[in-house]
């Protein structure tokens, strides 16, 4: 029984899931938007908002190392703290939006686009 166990498994074990989320976060912060399935987008949104909130709080060693532990990519962390974080300083949340694009022809999965708002 899975009582009180949150999150989607997405057909992966925990290490693969963590790697998937990390790579999607890196792509989202690099390109500003990514196209993925609805389930992955809904799981990715709280993580992206959390990392952006970390970048909004300020640029010091502790916040950078926290973001680095999540993303593990120095170039993306630099962009996050120099461009993305300061852009959302006045916004109290809701940094991403999800658009539904339709279904994928191969398996019928709902495809979405998750993007950073006003970036």
Q: Give per-residue burial for 62-99: e unless 16+ CB within 10 Å, then b.
A: ebbebbeebbebeebbeebbeebbebbeeeeeebbeee
Q: Is 80 exceeded by the pLDDT of residue 67?
A: yes
Token pair for 47: 């993580």
pLDDT in tens, 23-40: 999 999 999 999 999 999
Q: What is the mean pLDDT of residues 48-69?
A: 94
Q: What is the value of pTM for the model shown?
A: 0.92
Domain 14-116 has CATH 1.10.3720.10: no
Domain boundaries along the sequence of the chain: 14-116
Q: Is 90 exceeded by the pLDDT of residue 58?
A: no
- pLDDT, mean over the chain: 95
């Amino acid at each position: 029984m899975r009582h009180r166990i949150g999150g989607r498994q997405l057909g992966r074990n925990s290490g693969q899931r963590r790697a998937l989320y990390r790579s999607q976060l890196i792509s989202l912060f690099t390109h500003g938007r990514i196209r993925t399935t609805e389930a992955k987008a809904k799981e990715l949104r709280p993580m992206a908002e959390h990392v952006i909130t970390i970048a909004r709080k300020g640029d010091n060693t502790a916040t950078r190392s926290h973001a680095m532990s999540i993303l593990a990519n120095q170039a993306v962390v630099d962009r996050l703290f120099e461009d993305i974080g300061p852009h959302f300083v006045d916004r109290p949340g809701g940094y991403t939006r999800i658009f539904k694009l339709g279904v994928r022809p191969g398996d019928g999965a709902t495809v979405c686009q998750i993007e950073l708002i006003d970036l």
